Amino acid sequence: MLATIGIVEPDLEGEPLHRELVAAIRRVGPGASQGTYLSAVRFAIVSEHLAAGRAFAEAKARYERSVSRRVVEEMAKPREDGRRMSLGWAERIADEAAYEHKLAYLVAEKREQTLRKWLEAIQGALDNFRTARADERAADAAHAQGLTGGA
């Protein structure tokens, strides 16, 4: 079931989301339709996506605040030659100093994007499931009415 969204071997020890996805599938129980399983997985991912979005926003804000503060500090520093620092150079220094914040921000952004893509993949799988079910119902109705040529 998880292979549908690209998880072939769940990492139950290292990735909390994988544990939650497996738990969601187990909660549904055996014999449920694929649509029910996909919906359970989707709800687990939506919850994680919300948390990832918050983490992304917080990491981005920390990075931007760190850069802004450092730019102000660099611009305000007196120079030995009496000249002022250019804004571009101050921003470069600030960005270099905020490397760890930028890395955390980029990682958080990728996690949020990945979860969004998973949600899109699940929606596509649900759409395919619904279409297949509708096709089956139409075929059953046609067969029941004797329209399949086998009556």
Residue 144 lies in a domain: no
Residue 44 lies in a domain: yes
> Which sign, positive or negative, has the C-alpha torsion 35, 40, 43, 48?
negative
In whole angstroms, give the CA distance from residue 80 to residue 18. Answer: 56
The most confident of the ranges 21-25, 57-61, 88-92 is: 57-61
Contacts of 1 (CB under 8 A, 6+ apart): 25, 34, 37, 38, 41
pLDDT tens column, 19-34 = 898 888 889 888 888 8
Q: Would you place residue 143 in the very low, low, confident or very high pLDDT band (cuts 50, 70, 90)?
A: confident
Residue 79 lies in a domain: yes
Residue 53 lies in a domain: yes
CA distances from residue 77 to 67, 84, 98, 119, 136 in whole angstroms, order as listed? 15, 8, 18, 48, 73
Q: Residue 43 corresponds to which tokens in the numbers above?
A: 């709800």
Q: What percent of the chain has pLDDT over 90?
A: 38
Average pLDDT of the segment spanning 45-65: 95
Average pLDDT of the segment spanning 89-117: 94
Residue 98 lies in a domain: yes
Q: Would you place residue 149 in the very low, low, confident or very high pLDDT band (cuts 50, 70, 90)?
A: low
- Lowest-pLDDT range, 19-23, 89-93, 133-137? 133-137
- Report the number of distinct structural domains present in the chain: 1
What distance lies between CA 80 and its chain's CA centroid?
49
pTM strictly above 0.75: no
Element (H, E) at 47: helix 34-76
Is pLDDT at 91 greater than 70 in this prediction? Answer: yes
Is pLDDT at 124 greater than 90 in this prediction? Answer: no
Q: Would you place residue 51 in the very low, low, confident or very high pLDDT band (cuts 50, 70, 90)?
A: very high
Long-range contacts of 132-136 (CB under 8 A, 24+ apart): 133/35
pLDDT at 150: 54
Average pLDDT of the segment spanning 125-148: 79
| Domain enclosing residue 118, as ranges | 2-130
Residue 115 lies in a domain: yes
Residue 143 lies in a domain: no
Residue 136 lies in a domain: no
The answer to whether 36 touches 24, Cβ cutoff 8 Å, is: no
